[in-house]
Amino acid sequence: MMVVTRRLTAERLAELKTLLMGMQRVVQVRLRLHREELIATERPKPDDGELVNGLEIALIGMRTANLHEIEQALLRIATGTYGRCQCKGSISYHRLKALPTVRTCTTCAEREERKTGRMSRYSGFSAQH
Ligand SMILES: [Zn+2]
């Protein structure tokens, strides 16, 4: 039996899966085009080529990391752990829809932000809690 979290119905999960698969396709295509471009623009002169390739490689690295995030999210859907935070709480459907690869619930994300000191600019909100 598949365990469905409170807020994620099978229908919503299927919708998020479609969304993730669409993202995966886009990144894969971009990554392939980028690699092809990199090979095509490879220059015989190492001086010019090095700078351009360094930038391109950084971009490819970013997209590869992004693709990995998407693959991990799809894996979590397959194993039934998608939408579950490390605190065992469930991540809201709206949060997942906005950020399909997200791994933390809003509470944990805020705690993380506070830990890294970025919460200072949100201090005005603390009175609401
Ligand atoms: Zn959490």
Give yes or no for residue 5 having a pLDDT over 80: no
* One-letter amino acid for residue 88 of the chain: K
For residue 5, tell me if it sits in a domain.
Answer: no
Distance 41 CA to ligand 1 centre (A): 45
Please indicate, yes or no, if residue 1 is contained in any of the structural domains. Answer: no
CA 58 to chain centre: 17
- Give the residue numbers spanning the domain of 90: 10-128
Q: Provide mean pLDDT across the span 52-56.
A: 75
Per-residue pLDDT at 45: 57
Q: pLDDT of 87-102, one tens digit each?
A: 999 999 999 999 999 9
DSSP result, 100-128: TT--S-HHHHHHHHHHTTGGGGGGGGGGG
Span from the CA of 19 to the centroid of ligand 1 (angstroms): 23
Q: Is residue 68 part of a domain?
A: yes
Domains: count for the chain: 1
Which CATH number do you get for residue 32? Answer: 1.20.120.910
Q: 9-12: which pairs have CB atoms within 8 A and are 24 or more residues apart?
A: 12/93
User: What pLDDT, on the 0 to 100 scale, is given for residue 123?
Assistant: 44
Tell me whether residue 20 is in a domain: yes
Q: Residue 20 and residue 76: Cα distance in Å, rounded?
A: 12
Residue 117 lies in a domain: yes
